[in-house]
Amino acid sequence: MKTSAPTFSPSHSPCGVPPYPHRFGAAVKVWVTIQINVEAKNKVMGSKLQKQLLLTHVVLAMLLSF
C-alpha cells in the first residue's frame, strides 16, 4: 500500500514539473529576471559597472543552482 508518492517521480508534482530540477528552474527564473534588469539598466550604467554587476549575478545564480 502506497502512503505517499515518491519525491523523485516526475509525474507527481504540485507545479506540474519534475521536482528534481526545481532549484535549477528557480535559478533560471532568477537569471532571466536579472537579464531583463541588466538590459533595462544597460543605457543607464557604465559598461565597467555593468560587467561587475553581471559577474556578481552570475556567481549568485551559480550558488542558487546548487
Give the model confidence (pLDDT) of 4-57 as tens digits. Answer: 544 444 444 455 555 555 677 777 888 888 888 877 776 665 667 777 888 888
Domain boundaries, the chain: 22-64
pTM greater than 0.75 (yes/no):
no
List the one residue out of 35, 33, 13 whose CA is nearest residue 22: 13
**Residue 23: left (phi > 0), alpha (psi -120 to 50), or beta?**
alpha
38 with 50: CB under 8 angstroms?
Answer: yes
